[in-house]
């Protein structure tokens, strides 16, 4: 009944898509790294809504911080200075590369990307933006134009005269696109998530940063899915020694407890904040309760024992995935891993959909990559126990084998 009501009143196409995919999932209770559907069936969450639940669903420490915060705070008023907002901004600047000095807040990652793009245009007085083919940076007004044309064309947001796309890893194409000296910014996910987590070729991001400097263009690091310790460091871009002009965080920033996102700006990109602080207004951007949750999230994420756990989880999954791949070398053909950012590649145009289905039947929720369905997005949480890691790997082993048979039958 609920699925029919969802089709009638909410989103008919998306609801039908999951029904056709054999995933009749309607979420009920959730806690830690577990989900329960409306029938009480338990699933281990290995999707985490793109890293929103890095620290688990309804993390007790974050919940306690929010409950305590509600004794004093509400959303607040975006026009005025705020204790909570300023405290979070300071903590983000302290956590970020040295190039970052200011923070502008949004309520979601797409809005923060829009802020980043507007900031770059203001700083350079240029309009053109370069992104990667098969990129994904959100669905808001400017963000959607940087992504795959599946989403931009639908809303008449494809503007090839202003938004240029080049292949991931192609230095020559990037240099050619920058050569006109008229590009405001290059925006890239440190590891493109919706494209199936292809890892950047050695030295690629570093060369792109050098090219942006040479052509007086800003470098925007989209860290929505690779930030917050998912690569084993607080921000994935720092593993490349890059100090971006702008860096964006969202999703897991408040532990999945309150909508908040941040565009972290270098001095040049932040100039508009001195010129006209009302230039971007967001009623819910930097909501004070969201700031309370985000401060606690950053504090947990930056603990040495959490970083150590991520490195341990990384090693456990690297070894376990290699064993599973060795048993199915013609079917399970690729492992893309940087920390707990993991993509599993299968030898079928929609191979990850088969594995997703088998995992779902076997009590694990993971999702295929929207723009490359050969690849399963596999996203362990930062606080996973060794016992749960081993459990997931056992279930994955079974699912990969069954999916190989199903794909051949299909």
Q: Which two tokens stand for residue 224?
A: 């929505």
CB 45 within 8 A of CB 379: no
Helix, strand or coil, per DSSP, at residue 64 = helix
Q: Sign of the C-alpha dihedral, residues 91, 139, 32, 190? A: negative
DSSP string, 76-132: --TTS--HHHHHHHHHHHHHS-TTEEEEEEESSHHHHHHHHHHHHHHHHT--EEEEE
Could you tell me if 138 and 162 are in contact, meaning their C-beta atoms sit under 8 angstroms apart? no
Q: What pLDDT, on the 0 to 100 scale, is given for residue 144?
A: 86
What is the CA 78 to chain-centroid distance, rounded? 25
For the beta sheet containing 218-222, the strands, ordered from the edge strand earlier in sequence to the opposite edge, are 100-106, 261-266, 246-249, 218-222, 183-189, 128-132, 163-166
> Residue 248 CA to chain centroid, in angstroms?
10
Q: What pLDDT, on the 0 to 100 scale, is given for residue 410? A: 54
List of residues 6+ apart from 247 with CB closer than 8 A: 96, 97, 100, 220, 221, 223, 227, 235, 237, 263, 264
> How confident is the chain (410 residues) per 10-residue block, as mean pLDDT?
92 92 92 96 97 98 98 95 97 98 97 97 97 92 85 80 95 98 98 95 98 98 98 97 98 97 98 94 95 98 98 98 97 98 97 97 96 96 98 98 88
- Hey, what are 209's tokens? 């940063």
Give, as one character, the DSSP assignment of residue 75.
S
Among residues 308, 251, 301, the alpha carbon closest in space to that of 110 is found at 251
Q: The tokens of 310 are what? A: 């991520």
For the beta sheet containing 42-45, the strands, ordered from the edge strand earlier in sequence to the opposite edge, are 27-31, 34-37, 42-45, 364-365
CA-nearest of 407, 333, 328, 375 to 134 is 375
Decide if 200 contacts 168 (C-beta within 8 A).
yes
CA 27/CA 14 separation, integer angstroms: 15
Cβ burial, residue 299 (10 Å; 0-12/13-18/19+):
middle
Placement of tokens 């460091």 in the chain: 233
What is the number of other CB atoms lying within 10 angstroms of the CB of residue 337? 20
Longest dimension (CA), the chain: 63
Question: What does the radius of gyration of the chain's CA atoms come to, in whole angstroms?
Answer: 21
What is the rounded CA–CA span in Å between residue 218 and residue 268?
9
- Secondary structure (DSSP) of 123-190: HHT--EEEEETT----SSTTGGGGS-HHHHTTTT---TTTEEEE-TT-HHHHHHHHTTS-EEEEEEES
Between helix 288-301 and helix 60-69 the angle, nearest 10°, is 150
Measured at the CA of 233, the angle between CA 320 and CA 202, to 5 degrees, comes to: 75
């Amino acid at each position: 009944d609920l699925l029919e009501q969802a089709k009638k009143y909410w989103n008919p196409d998306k609801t039908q898509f999951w029904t056709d995919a054999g995933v009749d999932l309607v979420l009920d209770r959730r806690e830690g790294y577990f989900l329960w559907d409306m029938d009480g069936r338990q699933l281990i969450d290995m999707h985490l809504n793109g890293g929103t639940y890095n620290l688990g669903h309804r993390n007790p420490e974050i919940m306690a911080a929010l409950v305590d915060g509600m004794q004093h705070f509400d959303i607040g008023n975006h026009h005025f200075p705020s204790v909570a907002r300023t405290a979070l901004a300071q903590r983000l600047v302290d956590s970020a590369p040295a190039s970052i000095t200011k923070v502008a807040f949004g309520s979601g990652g797409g809005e923060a990307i829009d802020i980043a793009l507007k900031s770059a245009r203001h700083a350079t007085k240029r309009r053109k933006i370069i992104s990667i083919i098969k990129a994904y940076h959100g669905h808001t007004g400017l963000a959607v134009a940087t992504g795959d044309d599946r989403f931009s064309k639908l809303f008449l947001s494809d503007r090839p005269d202003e938004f240029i796309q080049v292949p991931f890893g192609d230095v020559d194409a990037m240099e050619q696109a920058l050569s006109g000296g008229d590009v405001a910014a290059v925006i890239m996910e440190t590891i493109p998530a919706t494209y199936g987590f292809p890892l950047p070729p050695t030295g690629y991001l570093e060369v792109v940063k050098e090219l942006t400097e040479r052509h007086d263009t800003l470098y925007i690091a989209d860290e929505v899915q690779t930030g917050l310790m998912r690569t084993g460091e607080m921000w994935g871009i720092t593993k490349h020694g890059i100090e971006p002009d702008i860096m964006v965080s969202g999703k897991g920033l408040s532990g999945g407890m309150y909508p908040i996102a941040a565009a972290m700006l270098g001095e040049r990109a932040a100039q508009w904040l001195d010129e006209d602080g009302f230039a971007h207004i967001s009623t819910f951007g930097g909501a004070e309760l969201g700031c309370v949750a985000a401060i606690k999230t950053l504090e947990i994420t930056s603990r040495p024992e959490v970083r150590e756990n991520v490195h341990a989880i990384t090693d456990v999954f690297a070894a376990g995935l290699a064993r599973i791949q060795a048993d199915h070398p013609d079917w399970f053909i690729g492992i893309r891993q940087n920390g707990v950012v993991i993509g599993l590649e299968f030898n079928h145009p929609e191979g990850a959909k088969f594995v997703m289905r088998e995992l779902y039947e076997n009590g694990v929720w993971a999702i295929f990559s929207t723009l490359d369905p050969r690849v399963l997005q596999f996203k362990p949480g930062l606080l996973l126990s060794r016992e749960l890691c081993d459990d997931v790997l056992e279930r994955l082993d079974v699912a990969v084998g069954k999916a190989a048979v199903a794909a051949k039958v299909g």
